[in-house]
Amino acid sequence: MLIQGRRKEYLTERNLASRLLSFWAKRWLDIVLSGAGLILSAPLWVAIALAIKAEDGGPIFYGQERVGNGGSRFKSWKFRSMAPDSDRRFGPRQAADGDGRITRTGRFLRGTALDELPQLWNIFRGDMSLVGPRALLPSEIELSGNGEAVSIECVPGYAERHQIRPGLTGLAQIYAPRDIPRRYKFKYDLLYVKRQSFWLDLKLVALSFWITVRGKWEHRGRKF
């Protein structure tokens, strides 16, 4: 019994050490890649800002409150891809195929995910991670199986997906069909929470880069 007790204690300590190592490896990857991305993409920021201003003269950036790790709130930043005051005029809702709110410049930015470049700053700060569940709005509405509108906080898996930082990319962003309900996307998020590893993060970052190069982020079918 004494040997079994010591073995369990050893395994618990080893698991804790492994989790801590994984946590710091992930954070190190976030800091290094987001910092490098901020520096290397600086010329793109200038070009994108000029293109946005030239099209309609509106704001360059778009900030929106999102839910982070443990339910905390933070402001997520993007390059503006929709007409100015879209939220005020139409309400904060997800973009649909052929959405008239999206500008010409915005359509290119969304297809290549360049609209999300400013989120590298969120990652560098620690609000987000490179890989994780997508950051949600605080008060999103989801349709249940019978078409009834319910708070997204009531959808199974909502709380579990917030055990880790939200990500710029992730299993759901890459593999889930774009227009499926959140309750199905949450299954991808929960799978990532259970299976996350340094090597899985590297694979998902590489796939995301390939999708960006091909301009397939807005594609409704297979992205790669």
Question: Residue 215 in contact with residue 112, Cβ under 8 Å?
Answer: yes
* pLDDT confidence bin for 93, thresholds 50/70/90: low
Contact assessment for residue 45 and residue 114, using Cβ atoms and an 8 Å cutoff: no
Of the listed ranges 7-11, 65-69, 118-122, the least confidently predicted one is 7-11
SS (H, E, C) the chain: CHHHHHHHHHHHHHHHHHHHHHHHHHHHHHHHHHHHHHHHCHHHHHHHHHHHHHHHCCCCEEEEEEECHHHCEEEEEEECCECCCHHHHHCCCCCCCCCCCECHHHHHHHHHCHHHCCHHHHHHHCCCEEECCCCECCCCEEECCCCCEEEHHHCCCHHHHCCCCCEEECHHHHHCCCCCCHHHHHHHHHHHHHHCCHHHHHHHHHHHHHHHHHCCCCCCCCCC
146 vs 211, higher pLDDT: 211
The pairing of strands 149-151 and 73-79 is unpaired
Q: What's the chain's average pLDDT?
A: 85
User: What mean pLDDT do residues 19-43 have?
Assistant: 91
Closest CA to 5 of 13, 77, 161, 30: 13
pLDDT-wise least confident of 3-17, 35-49, 115-129: 3-17
User: What is the tens place of the pLDDT at every residue in 138-184?
Assistant: 877 676 666 667 788 888 889 999 999 999 999 999 999 888 888 89
State the pLDDT confidence band at 224, using cuts at 50, 70 and 90.
confident
CB 173 within 8 A of CB 185: no
Residue 98 binned pLDDT confidence (cut-offs 50, 70, 90): low
**pLDDT range class, residue 218, cuts 50, 70, 90:** confident
pTM: 0.83
pLDDT of 11: 42
Distance of CA 9 to the CA centre of its chain: 36
Mean pLDDT, residues 195-210: 93
Residue 193 binned pLDDT confidence (cut-offs 50, 70, 90): very high
Would the pLDDT of 124 be above 80? yes
pLDDT value, residue 91: 57
* Spatial CA neighbour of 216 closest among 146, 169, 147, 155: 169
- Whether the per-residue pLDDT at 191 is higher than 90: the answer is yes
Higher pLDDT, 188 or 13: 188
* Tally of CA atoms within 13 A in the half-sphere of 115 that contains its CB: 22
Question: What's the pLDDT tens digit per position in 159-172?
Answer: 999 999 999 999 99
